Amino acid sequence: MSTVDKDFADNIKANQGYYNGDSDNSLGDNPRCVEITEYDNAFGGVGYGLTFEGRTNRYVPSPHVGNPRTYWRFAA
């Protein structure tokens, strides 16, 4: 799980799940982001949560994640 700003989320979205289009995962350290969840954070702002291949989306309603909604999802 990681939370990023809108510019970073938009970069991932524009590059089909990879930052700046770097899809080299030969070392196993660059998995594809498969979903971005937009949510209202506990401080009154908006956050963007990244979910990567092989991981479960953990951005569910909680005191720190309000009104989670799908911002982008990878479609093969």
Question: Domain tally for the chain?
Answer: 1
- CB-based burial of residue 62 (10 Å sphere; 0-12 exposed, 13-18 middle, 19+ buried)? exposed
Give me the pLDDT at residue 24, please: 86
- Terminal Cα-to-Cα distance of the chain (whole angstroms): 21
pTM: 0.90
What range does the domain containing 40 cover?
Answer: 2-73
**What pLDDT score was predicted for residue 1?**
58
- Over the stretch 12-67, which tens digit does the pLDDT of each residue have? 999 999 998 888 888 888 899 999 999 999 999 999 999 999 999 999 999 999 99
Strands (E), the chain: 2-4, 33-41, 46-52, 65-73
